[in-house]
Amino acid sequence: MISTSPAAGASAPLLSLSAVTKRFGSFTALSEVSLDLRPGEVHCILGENGAGKSTLCNVMFGVHKPDGGAMSYRGAAYQPSGPADALAQGIAMVHQHFSLVGDMSVVDNVLLGRGRGVLNRKECARQLAKLATDYGLPLDPNAKIDDLSVGERQRVEIVKCLIRDPQLFVLDEPTAVLLPDEIAALLQVCRRVAASGRAVVLVTHKLAEIKEVADRVTVLRGGRTVATSDAPARDIDALVRAMIHGDVAELDGTAASTLGLGKVEHVGHQPPPRGKVEALQIDGLTVKDRQGVTRLDNFTLTVDRGEIVGVAGVEGNGQSELAAVLAGMMTPTSGRYYLGEADLTGRSPKEITAAGVGIVSEDRHAVGCVLGMSLAENIYLNRLDEFTRFGFLNRTALQRDATTLMRRFDVRARGPGASFSSLSGGNQQKAVLAREITLPNLSCLVASQPTRGLDVGAVAAVYGHIREACGRGIAVLLVSSELDELLSVADRIVVLYRGRIMGTCPADPARKAEIGAMMAGQAQ
Amino acid sequence: MTWELFAVFLGSSIRLAAPLLLAGIGEMVSERAGVLNMSIEGMMLMSAFASAVGAWATGDPLVGLLIGIVSVVPVSLLQAFLSNTLRANQIVSGIGINILVLGATTLAYREIFGARSRAEIPGLAKIKPPLLGDIPIIGPAVFEQVWLLYAGIGIIIITALVLRFTSLGLAIHAAGAEPKAVDKSGLSVTAVRYGVVVFAGFMASLAGAFLSIGDIHTFTEGMTRGAGYLAIASVIFGKWRIGGTTLACLLFGAATALQFQLPALGVNVPNALLIMLPYLLALLAVGGLVGRQMAPATLGEPYRR
Amino acid sequence: MTTLDQQNSLDRGPRFTLRPSLFVPIAAVAFAAAVGLALIAAIGVSVPDAIEAFVDGTIGSPYALAASLNRACVFALVGFGFVLANRANLTNVGGEGQIAVGGIAATAVALYGHVADLPLGLAFILPMLAAVIAGALWGALAAVLKVKSGTNEVISTLLLSFIGVWLLYWCVQSPALLRKPMTSSATLPESLEIPDATQLPLLTGDYGFPVHIGLPLTLLIALVVGVLLAKTIFGVRLRAVGLNPVAAHRAGISYAKTVIVALAGAGALGGLAGALMLLGEQHTLKDGFSSGYGFDGLVAGLLSRGSIPGVIAASLLFGFMRSGGINMEMVAAVPTALVVVIQGLIVITLAGAALFIEKWERRT
């Protein structure tokens, strides 16, 4: 493959990895990965979930020590003793999850860990102002982090790195949480940083970003380097094949959509003839938080039996509040919601379950399951009473029935007694889904971000079960920030922006741009 | 109530609040960084004992104070090691340390003093600060206090400045609120948290010395009688702020002072009720008046990368 | 699913291998005992003499044995309560106060009117019930504070302990409450001795071996608590709330109810422990009644790492240690504080080893 990047061609590599291997116990996360990073280039690392991208970044940043191979930085051997050492040597990293102190100001967050003794907040604010003009990163130095939007918080993280004047700048999946125009701005920042003679590593699984910004690409799969390219825009199809080990065209529509290819076909099913009864009726739900800020604003929606309605939107626009209210985990400030004739507003989770509403929570580990308990206990957590006589739990029957469900939902585990924490994320999610979807009188399912963190196979399985439930006449409300998934699964999509419904339209891939605009707050 | 009596009441409130205040501010700094030291009680007792023995053996209360401070260092290092390095349950390990110190000091006290009548232990001197101390009536009654209290107030003011204006203050706050941010900034969460536990131990050692050689010039077995737990309650009551903690300590001190003042005024309240009062107030304070969200986000949770 | 799989999938079957959760506590006790012996030597007492005094005080006579067993019952009850609450991830350190209010309630009822004349053992059952209720309320108080305003139960149970202990002091100081009639200024601040009929019957009727019916009662309660935790839906609920209260709530398990029942249960057992102490042995309520037994029971609960047989073993150990310690002080001039040192060391060692045990058990 020929080099097309003028900046990257001639110069010696800034950081070289040769045959780097990293193991966690018996699991090999990275296997003999080699990589050259040159000053002035934006180098994208492409790969699916679990391909080893984050591990690779963490090795470069000194979080993990490699078990094999060598690294050299500016021509000398590079063996960082930890993140602090990496930072001191000029390697900075913006992590996938922010680590900002919420009740401190922007300046204080930037100052944390820099220098000793008395703080010079004025000087720091001056530096921030300079960075803002140099790279296009405007920030109010005195704002509290808690008051900032996600995009602004990320800017703080970036500024925290840039103020140290790093030679190598690593960004681990920075665009996952951003709006389209915020993504564009971020990619612009990457370009400017590279143009100033630094090397930028951008981890992503979105091909559009690679097309736009990458000088070179390295593709990881299963911890190995499977392809590199000096001309990513030209080689894009080959890169995709390398990433997923198969031709894009052969993929199931659902799986392809998660890659952000935009080649989504509507694979929606034939809805069964609908009953007269509207299953889920939401009428003007409004949620205000403690500070009096409106998080969910007059949300009104009807979901019919046998219908899947998708709720699209960038995270943090009221989806969590909507799901929490429907699950009985939050009391709305005003508004009501009904299942058939029954008013479920403000009812307890127990009553909501009893009424026939299945809930798949967005935060599986916090709300959906009890990690320290067994698979059998988790898969029947809300129905343990059925296995109880005179207060005594019939564990034999519990294990037997759990085994049946495991088979039906293809939950792979050592057995029903396996600790829930020993299951993979996909199997945990299938178990949670099994629990909620097999409620005896299920008539409505509310699933929030049900595919988060799952691999392609598990995503397909989850949507298979949801479609199957829908085919039985269950009303499904599907909340997801993955627009492509919604487009391929839902019948209808409503878009949430700042707690309000920006618009509703059929789940037609042709209208993706329109929906995207609504997600960004532009009413149609 | 006459002015004289009120001044005496004020003075003894401050005197009784002093050990709570010293220990409480140390604990507050530690909790701000995320470490809960249930062992404050044990640290105070250790220092109360060691400084009393030191002052008794050398005849010099200052040497006693130093011995008290030094004696707590291993205790705080043990607590820091348990809660940071071994990531032990901070409540359980703290209570374990309290039990150990109670046993050890009682044992050592019996060994050293045996059946001997309580020996005369030289205590720390009282000072009257200029100007304030010269105010008639109030001066001697309120402001004539053991110098250690004034030294402690100085340390507390410095602590407030450090927390507010230095990078160390930022690191301490961030270690409790978002330890990951500290870690990723290149600082060591463990180092910060070891540091604050040792500081809490230092402040508790001043508090313990104040109890024995500062206030009553003797040592009795288990003499802290829950003062360490009151100090922890004052931190909660004070919402993890220096001003709030100080006020809470003064309130508990005043409640304790009532024990001695009310009978003097001829008010007939059961003694036990008055002894109970600070604990009762503390319970009301932690139970009803403070919200949960005020606490440092990772209080009591060992940090793990 | 094959037979092999099913065997693997047994929930928590007892496997009698040398598990760290078993040998670490034993090692901790051995380590602490070794330090204790070294301390005895350090203070210049002959170690064999001290050991002889210790053994005499524990099993040297039927009387000593009985005293040790009676003590062990008190520790075990508090320990069961600790384990019960701890299953819901609650740390009840209020045993001392729960014992105190139990003692107060038992005394008050035993001395009340004609309770002593009641037939069918009601004379001692009623005071016991009163103690159970008082302890349960004391524990529930901390639970309500936790549920209503998120108060950490460690702080609240500790403060409630101090309050309970001073409450008892108040009761025995005030003639209007439980202090015996003041005939002279020399009248001790303590209650009247409770009538014979309200005292717990001895198992053998032999005053030389005064084990009372608290022993079988404690064993019965051990069984009940053990079954409750392992076999009932309540046990699963406790565990769910302890591990993830939010997920438990979503699954329809009431956090408030579970926390209140768990802490009230722990308090009830503490109150009962107080009743055994008063009705079984002390017979008069006086200052210092709880004598640190609440903390011993807490340590027994910690030591057991959640197992009921573990609580029993630890309680026996502490029962013997207390009795032996008292005899060591009387015969060999070794202060009983030594026993406290040993207990402190045990708690610290175990707290420090918890991570190691967890890691080890995850590996196997």
pLDDT of residue A267: 47
Residue A114: CB atoms within 10 A of its CB come to: 17
Alpha-carbon torsion (C292, C297, C300, C306), positive or negative: negative
Q: Residue C92: pLDDT above 70?
A: yes
Q: What angle do CA A122, B297, A55 make, to 5 degrees?
A: 85
pLDDT tens track for C64-75? 999 999 999 999
Residue C338 to residue B92, Cβ atoms within 8 A: no
Please state, in angstroms and rounded to a whole number, the distance separating the CA atoms of residues A374 and A367. 16
Q: Residue A5: pLDDT above 50?
A: no
Please state, in angstroms and rounded to a whole number, the distance separating the CA atoms of residues A226 and A211. 19
Residue B182 to residue A113, Cβ atoms within 8 A: yes
Q: Which residues pair with A360 in a beta bridge?
A: A447
A466, amino acid identity: I
Decide if C359 is inside a domain: no
Task: Catalogue all structural domains in chain B, each as residue range(s) with its CATH number.
Answer: 3-294 (1.10.3470)
Contacts A418 to C, Cβ<8 Å: 9
Mean pLDDT of the A66-93 span: 89
Q: Which residues pair with A281 in a beta bridge?
A: A302, A338
Do A139 and A147 touch, CB atoms closer than 8 A? no
Q: Which of C166, C351, C352 is nearest residue B276 as measured by Cβ atoms?
A: C166
Please state, in angstroms and rounded to a whole number, the distance separating the CA atoms of residues C88 and B196. 31
Residue C307 CB contacts under 8 Å (≥ 6 apart), including other chains: C83
Instruction: Please count the residue pairs, one from chain A and one from chain C, whose beta carbons lie less than 8 angstroms apart.
Output: 91
pLDDT tens track for A289-308? 776 778 899 999 999 888 99
Q: Residue A260: pLDDT above 60?
A: no
If interface means Cβ-Cβ distance under 8 Å, which residues of chain B face chain A?
165-168, 170-171, 173-174, 177-178, 180-188, 305
Domain that holds residue C303: 70-179+187-317
Q: What are phi and psi of A60, to 5 degrees?
A: -65, -35
pLDDT tens track for C169-179? 999 888 888 88
Establish if C35 touches chain B: CB-CB under 8 angstroms: no
Please state, in angstroms and rounded to a whole number, the distance separating the CA atoms of residues C32 and C351. 14
Do A489 and A268 touch, CB atoms closer than 8 A? yes
Decide if C263 is inside a domain: yes
Q: What angle do CA C288, C293, C297 make, to 5 degrees?
A: 160
Find how far residue A212's CA is from the centre of its chain.
21
Residue C207 CB contacts under 8 Å (≥ 6 apart), including other chains: none
Closest chain B residue by Cα to residue A110: B185
Q: Burial of B120 by CB count in 10 Å (0-12 exposed, 13-18 middle, 19+ buried)? A: exposed
Please state, in angstroms and rounded to a whole number, the distance separating the CA atoms of residues C91 and B145. 39
pLDDT of residue C184: 77
Question: Six-digit token pair at A267?
Answer: 């694979």
Alpha-carbon torsion (B161, B166, B172, B174), positive or negative: positive
Question: Six-digit token pair at A38?
Answer: 């040159």
Please state, in angstroms and rounded to a whole number, the distance separating the CA atoms of residues C213 and B164. 62
Residue A359 CB contacts under 8 Å (≥ 6 apart), including other chains: A323, A326, A327, A349, A352, A353, A436, A445, A446, A447, C250
Q: What are phi and psi of C68, to 5 degrees?
A: -65, -45
pLDDT band at C316 (very low <50, low <70, confident <90, very high): very high
pLDDT band at A378 (very low <50, low <70, confident <90, very high): very high
Do B47 and B68 touch, CB atoms closer than 8 A? yes
Mean pLDDT (chain A) is 84
Residue A371 to residue C6, Cβ atoms within 8 A: no
Q: Which of B165, B171, B177 is nearest residue A113 as measured by Cβ atoms?
A: B171
- Rounded (10°) angle between helices B189-209 and B40-58: 50
pLDDT of residue B112: 87
Q: What are phi and psi of C70, to 5 degrees?
A: -60, -40
Please state, in angstroms and rounded to a whole number, the distance separating the CA atoms of residues A392 and B116. 61
Decide if C49 is inside a domain: no
Alpha-carbon torsion (B7, B8, B9, B15), positive or negative: positive
- Rounded (10°) angle between helices C153-173 and C95-111: 30
Beta strand A15-24 pairing with A392-393: unpaired
Measure CA of the first residue to CA of the last residue in chain C; give whole Å: 23
Please state, in angstroms and rounded to a whole number, the distance separating the CA atoms of residues A364 and A375. 14
Neighbours of chain A (3+ CB pairs under 8 A): B, C
Q: Which of B88, B99, B110 is nearest residue C352 as measured by Cβ atoms?
A: B88
If interface means Cβ-Cβ distance under 8 Å, which residues of chain A face chain C?
327-329, 348-350, 353-354, 359, 361, 366-374, 376-377, 381-382, 384-385, 387-388, 391-393, 395, 399, 403, 414-418
Q: Residue B227: pLDDT above 70?
A: yes
pLDDT of residue C9: 38
Mean pLDDT (chain C) is 88
Do C338 and C324 touch, CB atoms closer than 8 A? no
Closest CA to A145 of A87, A117, A105: A105
Decide if C11 is inside a domain: no
Residue C11 to residue A417, Cβ atoms within 8 A: yes
Upper half-sphere CA count for residue B62 (Cβ side, 13 Å): 3
Q: Residue A126: pLDDT above 70?
A: yes
A19, amino acid identity: A
Decide if C270 is inside a domain: yes
Residue A112 to residue B182, Cβ atoms within 8 A: yes
pLDDT tens track for C285-315? 988 888 889 988 998 998 888 899 999 999 9
Tell me which residues of chain C, numbers 191 to 220, contact chain B at a CB-CB cutoff of 8 Å.
none
| Residue C215 or residue A274, greater confidence | C215
* pLDDT-above-70 percentage for chain B: 96
Please state, in angstroms and rounded to a whole number, the distance separating the CA atoms of residues A218 and A211. 13
Residue A369 to residue C247, Cβ atoms within 8 A: yes
Upper half-sphere CA count for residue A66 (Cβ side, 13 Å): 25
In chain C, the number of structural domains is 1
Q: Which residues pair with A216 in a beta bridge?
A: A43
A334, amino acid identity: S
Q: What is the pTM of this model?
A: 0.84
Decide if C47 is inside a domain: no
Question: Six-digit token pair at A195?
Answer: 């143009």
Secondary structure class of A334 (helix, strand, coil): strand
Alpha-carbon torsion (C186, C190, C195, C201), positive or negative: negative
Decide if C8 is inside a domain: no
Question: Six-digit token pair at C33?
Answer: 């005992």
Q: Where are the alpha helices (DSSP H) in chain B?
A: 3-32, 40-58, 61-80, 90-113, 138, 147-165, 167-177, 179-184, 189-209, 227-237, 242-264, 271-284
Among A43-52, A93-102, A425-434, B187-196, which stretch is predicted with the lowest mean pLDDT? Answer: A43-52
Mean pLDDT of the A74-98 span: 87
Contacts B291 to C, Cβ<8 Å: 149-150
Q: What are phi and psi of C180, to 5 degrees?
A: -70, 155
Q: What angle do CA C260, C262, C267 make, to 5 degrees?
A: 90
pLDDT of residue A277: 59
Contacts B110 to C, Cβ<8 Å: 335, 337
Establish if C163 touches chain B: CB-CB under 8 angstroms: yes
Establish if C37 touches chain B: CB-CB under 8 angstroms: no
Q: Which of B185, B187, B241, B299 to mutate to test the interface with A (most CBs of A within 10 A)?
A: B185
Find how far residue A125's CA is from the centre of its chain.
32
Q: Residue A275: pLDDT above 60?
A: no
DSSP tag of B139: I
Residue B170 to residue A112, Cβ atoms within 8 A: yes
Question: Six-digit token pair at B65?
Answer: 């104070």
Decide if C138 is inside a domain: yes
Residue B239: CB atoms within 10 A of its CB come to: 16
Closest chain A residue by Cα to residue B172: A112
Do A481 and A468 touch, CB atoms closer than 8 A? no
Do A87 and A32 touch, CB atoms closer than 8 A? no
Q: Which of A93, A102, A108 is nearest residue B170 as measured by Cβ atoms?
A: A108
pLDDT band at B20 (very low <50, low <70, confident <90, very high): very high
Cα distances (Å, whole numbers) of residue A425 to A51, A323, A421, C5 = 15, 21, 9, 22
Do A404 and C1 touch, CB atoms closer than 8 A? no
pLDDT tens track for C235-290? 999 999 999 999 999 999 999 999 999 999 999 999 999 999 999 988 899 888 88
